[in-house]
Amino acid sequence: MKNQNSLLNQVKTTFTEYYQSEPRLFVAPGRINIIGEHTDYNDGFVLPAAIDKQIAFAVAKNNLNCFRFYSTDFKESEKVSTLDLGQDIKLWAQYLVGVLAQFKKIDKLDSGFDVIFGGDIPVGAGLSSSAALECGLAKAINVLSDLKLSDIELVKMAQKAEHEYAGVMCGIMDQYASVFGKKNQVFKLDCRDNTHKYFPLELGDYELLLVNTNVKHSLASSEYNLRREECERGVQYFKTFDADINALRDVSKELIEAHVDQPDPVSYQRSKFMVEEIARVGQATGAMENNDLHLLGELLYQTHDGLSKLYEVSCHELDFLVELTKPLNQVLGSRMMGGGFGGCTLNLLKKSFIPEFKEMVKFEYEKQFSKSPDFYGVHLSDGAREFNYEIS
């Protein structure tokens, strides 16, 4: 909480200094995902939650024909005309302009805005800092222009911004979690009809801990888009056996097993992983409801194995961190989390073991890669929202 207040204080103070006016304040969180990786764009299920790492925004209409942005983290500014939302701008500003472009498309951009933002979501860690940036701004414009767009409309606009301005054909999970997150709750999201169900995260003597590899390999977005195509080839292939198949979610385990020799082995591997992963989300939800943390941990390991060998979105650093945990009785499960090619592992482990675990992982990781990992405890938070009370 302290951090959220200090982030809000910082953007508010900077705003008043820069623009001599009173902004309204918003926050939007990053996310974790317990299980269900790459399933969102295959009409599958995911199990995400918003976390207490966030971006704070100070925003006001400026009655000018331009948008002015300032990032307190990068200490950089950007200015864009309301008439021409060009793309020749700094990378971080493209996410913001991407969102503005969605409002413009539906003729809902009635003014210029000043936006100052800053946060504590580590960039490139697979915790969706870009979704937080998009969703926070979408929420702010919706409120400031009194548009009354629904949350799901804002989520879809933020996702479109990522497609059109960042070139990543992402699914809906990150933006959905940043908007719909709820304190102390995870939720199961059906990415076919966009309905969700919350449930509390109750881990008893255990806890979730993120370990950041502090690497992000550059092929992340091109490989991501390629995985989508490979999955789509799988759909086209299996559709020839059953016309009702519209996504890999519709493919059964039996159908997969009966087609080991299909002519496109890469697409087959991706499809096999996907069918297994979608089934695992159901098993994991059951395990959480029954308090069976050993099963949940086992499923995390299975997911990692599939992401690494069948879906091929892991990397040495992530595999190394997961392998390190396998001989440890106090760790029930570990896996890479998010799109892949770097970022964090998610670990389910005994609370009392955390200090020793951190020390051991830091030592081994530094020895192997000559760089340090970072550790983040997981605390689940509310989704993007306006901050209404006066902060000191």
Interface ranges with ligand GLA (CB under 6 A): 37-38, 40-41, 128, 170-171, 173-174, 338-339
- In this structure, what are the phi and psi dihedrals at residue 287, rounded to the nearest 5 degrees? -60, -40
Q: Which pair of structure tokens corresponds to residue 55? A: 């971006």
Nearest residue (CB) to ligand GLA, 60 versus 179:
179
Quote the least distance from Cβ 46 to ligand GLA, whole Å.
7
Quote the least distance from Cβ 21 to ligand GLA, whole Å.
35
Find, among 42, 38, 29, the residue nearest to 339 by Cα.
Answer: 38
Nearest residue (CB) to ligand GLA, 94 versus 128:
128
3 state SS for 260-329: CCCCCHHHHHHHHHHHHHHHHHHHHHHHHHCCCHHHHHHHHHHHHHHHHHCCCCCCHHHHHHHHHHCCCC
Q: Is 230 exposed, middle or buried (0-12, 13-18, 19+ CB in 10 A)?
A: buried
Q: Which pair of structure tokens corresponds to residue 343? A: 């970022």
Quote the least distance from Cβ 267 to ligand GLA, whole Å.
17
Alpha helices in 88-212 (DSSP H): 91-105, 129-144, 151-161, 173-180
Name the catalytic one among 174, 250, 261, 292.
174
Pairwise CA distance, residues 238 & 215, whole Å: 36
Quote the least distance from Cβ 261 to ligand GLA, whole Å.
29
Helix crossing, 173-180 with 151-161: angle to 10°? 140
Quote the least distance from Cβ 247 to ligand GLA, whole Å.
14
Nearest residue (CB) to ligand GLA, 112 versus 342:
342
Pairwise CA distance, residues 278 & 389, whole Å: 42
Nearest residue (CB) to ligand GLA, 23 versus 48:
48
Quote the least distance from Cβ 75 to ligand GLA, whole Å.
27
H or E stretch at 62: none
Contacts (Cβ under 8 Å, ≥6 apart) of 385: 26, 27, 139
Nearest residue (CB) to ligand GLA, 59 versus 248:
248
Quote the least distance from Cβ 191 to ligand GLA, whole Å.
9
Quote the least distance from Cβ 7 to ligand GLA, whole Å.
23
Nearest residue (CB) to ligand GLA, 144 versus 284:
284
DSSP strand pairing (48-61 vs 45-46): unpaired
Q: Which pair of structure tokens corresponds to residue 124? A: 């490139």
DSSP strand pairing (113-119 vs 66-71): parallel
Catalytic residue flag (residue 261): no
Pairwise CA distance, residues 322 & 203, whole Å: 20
DSSP 76: E
H or E stretch at 122: none
Rounded to the nearest 10°, the torsion over CA 46, 48, 70, 114 is: 80
- In this structure, what are the phi and psi dihedrals at residue 122, rounded to the nearest 5 degrees? -60, 130
Nearest residue (CB) to ligand GLA, 78 versus 277:
277
Nearest residue (CB) to ligand GLA, 37 versus 43:
37
Show which residues are catalytic: 174
